[in-house]
Amino acid sequence: MIELRNVSKIYNMGQHDVRALDEVSIKIEKGQFIAIMGSSGSGKSTLMHVLGLLDMPSEGEYLLEGIDVSELDDTELSRIRNEHFGFVFQSYNLFNELSALENVCIPLMYAKKPVKERREIASKYLSMVQMDHRIHHYPTQLSGGEQQRVAVARSLANNPSLVLADEPTGNLSSKHEDEIMNLFTDLNDQGVTIAMVTHSAKVAGYAKHIIVISDGKVISDMPIDKRFKPVELTGTEGGIYK
């Protein structure tokens, strides 16, 4: 589905250049559930932004289903983000003035779906994440876990090829963290491809594959033997997760 070949992301910081990503090469196959781990400042969020076409590589190739995205214009990149990717963020990013149903309708509006169809699709995905009884509630009336469920439903609304989740449980209690991760696991079992950034070894244990990044470089890229079992960090910070 996605292949990065020697991708670097370089930011100019006055007199110095900072390599947030340094010749990263990874693949994401259909049906995978990948956790991207690393310490603060390791480059994992930059990698997520590049994967989601929210930021473009400074060097290297990004192939999306064999197509080099550097050859696409801004309009085409926006279309791909809306139609092929679903995004889930740590802070939910819901609009407080909109109901749960209306929040899930937003990507469908950008896709120019008719109003009736938008509402039908939004209701379907809210039901999938067990929020059909709260569709007319506003974010301020929902718990953190419920808001994140709405955000997950929104990420699925356009039937994306890939769901990108950036610290999706970072603001949640342990109970709600488990609920969201079980939801991601169920979605992956139904065929949804997921790439998730997390600093938590416990959360990463729900994935099928773990990529560890340190100082902008991939230092480990491997499947894990058993899901639902938290992995453990060995050695010093930035070492290899096993």
The predicted pLDDT at position 90 comes to 80
Confidence bin at 129 (pLDDT 50/70/90) = confident
Confidence bin at 209 (pLDDT 50/70/90) = very high
Calpha distance 224→181 (Å, rounded) = 16
The predicted pLDDT at position 134 comes to 92
pLDDT of residue 18 exceeding 90? no
pLDDT of residue 102 exceeding 60? yes
Q: What dihedral angle (degrees, nearest 10) is formed by the CA atoms of 190, 192, 195, 198?
A: -40
Calpha distance 241→221 (Å, rounded) = 10
- Summarised one tens digit per residue, pLDDT across range 158-204 is 888 899 998 888 887 888 888 888 888 888 988 889 999 988 888 88
Q: Percent of the chain having pLDDT more than 90?
A: 43
In this prediction, residues 37-65 reach a mean pLDDT of 90
The predicted pLDDT at position 227 comes to 58
Which of 198, 209, 188 lies closest to 47 in space, CA to CA? 198
Helix (H) or strand (E) holding 108: helix 100-110
The predicted pLDDT at position 29 comes to 93
| Residues sharing a CB contact under 8 Å with residue 76, sequence separation 6 or more, in sequence order | none
Q: What dihedral angle (degrees, nearest 10) is formed by the CA atoms of 150, 151, 152, 155?
A: 120
Under 8 Å between Cβ of 224 and 192: no
The predicted pLDDT at position 218 comes to 92
Confidence bin at 233 (pLDDT 50/70/90) = very low
Q: Percent of the chain having pLDDT more than 70?
A: 93
Which of 159, 89, 97 lies closest to 128 in space, CA to CA? 159
The predicted pLDDT at position 230 comes to 45
Under 8 Å between Cβ of 241 and 229: no
Class of domain 32-57+73-223: alpha beta
Calpha distance 135→187 (Å, rounded) = 20
